Amino acid sequence: MNEIYYHALKLLRRRDYSQRQLEEKLEAKFGKVPREVIQQLLQKRFLSDDRYSENFVNKHTERHPDWIRQALEDAGVAKKTIDAVIGAYDWPSLREVLRAKMQNWRLRPPLERRDVARLFRLLSRLGYPEENIREELEQFHEQ
């Protein structure tokens, strides 16, 4: 049990994990992980889904909240925790993100076709709905 616990601490020293992610990582190496190991990590606050979620949101602020929600669900974070952390953040609108990217890339309306395509691919990767992206880009392309 000590070997599993110390390996978990070693993993957590490098980066934060959700409880499920850490359990899966430990099970891949050691097989069945005793519940006491996870409980001890939780009790000493070395492992926290709340902290993991907050750090994840802070790291991915330019992504769409639906993308973040899905990523946190995939990591095994509870729905209540996800709702709390996403609700606590003031998310930029698609238009704000688009304007920021255009400013970073020094683009001005009217946009060329290749610039529209680049922006579309970027916003799509960030998790924004394709229909909303098309509407916003059409407005900038027509200006």
pTM above 0.85, yes or no: no
pLDDT tens figures, 106-125: 988 888 889 999 999 999 99
pLDDT tens figures, 13-34: 999 999 999 999 999 999 999 9
pLDDT of 118 reads 94
pLDDT of 140 reads 73
What mean pLDDT, rounded, does the chain reach? Answer: 92
> DSSP state, 69?
H
Separation of first and last alpha carbons in the chain: 65
Give the residue-averaged pLDDT of 37-62: 94
From residue 50, give the alpha-carbon distance in Å to each of 125, 127, 130, 139, 141: 25, 22, 30, 39, 41
pLDDT of 7 reads 94
pLDDT of 30 reads 92
Q: How many residues does the chain have?
A: 143
DSSP string, 24-55: HHHHHHHSSPPHHHHHHHHHTTS--HHHHHHH
Give the residue-averaged pLDDT of 126-131: 93
Place 143 in a pLDDT band, splitting at 50, 70 and 90.
low
- For residue 119, give the nearest of 90, 97, 93, 89 by alpha carbon: 97
SS3 call for 99: helix
Give the residue-averaged pLDDT of 67-94: 94
